[in-house]
Chain A
């Protein structure tokens, strides 16, 4: 089966025998984007979270055939080293990761949350960020999510240039 879609704004076209192959393995093994992690394979831990048409999905439980014509964003496309996404910037500032394995999934889930709820409360975070971190970095992640909301708010508001001051 041929599947055409985009990943991080780059067009992709793949040939795949099993159309139900989890999108996770298309991303990791066929497109060699290793930022999206395999955790449980049962849509339980969230390590494989990425965005499909702007919505967070667990890619281990998302058949490749459903991505036809859609836009996928992975952690590699969220931001760059030079221009990190507010979530990535906040994660660095709050020194969130310990082992780091699950963090891309958390960051993708958080980016989706901030798109829907720009200034999430602790309750919003509890409801929407339900990934699993075996290092238990939840406390630092909560701080980073609030920090990311502030960074995003400040960077998306109209900027008064320094010359105006």
Chain B
């Protein structure tokens, strides 16, 4: 009963927040235009938990939409693959597992430490992504390939179900829209907007 009451309360708050005044609708319209750029579309994906959880800055992979530290004390290890005997692949295989709810994709691993994005804003992430001293010496064409073809990157759009059998949240735009945004951003010079 308590939960129901609490849930009802939350719904009420949520409903009241959804009311839009004349002033805020103008602000929302401006934001909608700004979010429509290829850069912002791309970054809506790259800043999503499905991506950032495996780009930690503290060597600890994260889990869930609340980005809690990975259970069981799992950490990066020496090669981004976990520890010597208990590795990422002790539990994570090459595809999602619908029975256990354990996510999987080819070469499941953490992003290199130099590509730690946790805590960075979208502008800082983009700058890091373009920085050859951090991105594994990747050129623009190599970055495009990584961002649009790598099966582990694209896992974000097929993240499977969690331990409760509930589908994991996907990034807010479709895979096709994301790929188009990436291509458009690079075709226009991969310019990182000013904050």
Of A2-10, A27-35, A85-93, A123-131, the segment with at least 4 beta carbons within 8 Å of chain B is: A123-131
Nearest neighbor of B72 in chain A, beta-carbon distance: A130
Give the docked Cα–Cα distance between A115 and B87 (Å): 14
Known: A61-B93, A62-B93, A63-B97. A128 touches B85 (CB 8 A): yes
- Give bound CA distance, A126 to B72, whole Å: 10
Given contacts A42-B100, A60-B100, A127-B73, contact A55 B91 (CB under 8 A): no
B71 contacts partner chain A, Cβ-Cβ < 8 Å: yes
In the bound complex, CA of A110 to CA of B67 (Å): 30
Q: What separation, in Å, do the CA atoms of A22 and B93 have in the docked complex?
A: 12
Q: A127-B75, A130-B72 are in contact. Are A56 and B90 (CB under 8 A)?
A: yes
A78 at the interface (CB under 8 A from B): no
Q: How far is the CB of A17 from chain B (nearest CB, A)?
A: 14
- Minimum Cβ distance to chain B for residue A128 (Å): 4
> Taking the nearest CB of chain B, how far is it from the CB of A10, in angstroms?
24
Q: Is A112 an interface residue (CB 8 A)?
A: yes
* CB of B100 to closest CB in A, whole Å: 4
The dominant DSSP class at the A interface is: mixed
Interface residues of A in 53-77 (CB under 8 A from B): 55-58, 60-63, 66
In the complex formed, the residue of A with least CB distance to B74 is: A130
Which size class do A's interface residues fall under? 20 to 34
User: Is A117 an interface residue when CB atoms closer than 8 A count as contact?
Assistant: yes
Q: Which residues of B contact A116 (CB under 8 A)?
A: 84-85
Which single member of A20, A113, A128 contacts B99 (CB below 8 Å)?
A20
B85 interface neighbour in A43, A44, A61, A112, Cβ under 8 Å: A112
Assess whether B86 is in contact with A129, with CB atoms less than 8 Å apart: yes
Hey, which chain A residues are within 8 Å of B89, CB to CB?
55, 57
A61 touches B99 (CB 8 A): yes
Chain B residues closer than 8 Å to A126, beta-carbon distance: 73
Which residues of chain A from 94 to 136 have a CB within 8 Å of any chain B CB?
A: 109, 112-113, 115-117, 124, 126-130
Q: Please name the residue on chain A nearest to B84 by beta carbon.
A: A116
Supply 27 A–B pairs (Cβ within 8 Å), ascending by A.
A20-B97, A20-B99, A22-B100, A41-B100, A42-B100, A42-B163, A43-B97, A43-B100, A56-B85, A56-B86, A56-B90, A57-B89, A58-B91, A58-B100, A58-B102, A60-B100, A61-B99, A61-B100, A62-B93, A63-B95, A63-B97, A109-B86, A112-B85, A112-B86, A117-B85, A127-B83, A127-B86
Closest 7 CB pairs of A and B: A61-B100, A116-B84, A43-B91, A113-B85, A112-B85, A130-B72, A128-B85
Contacts from B to A (Cβ < 8 Å):
71-75, 83-87, 89-91, 93-95, 97-102, 163
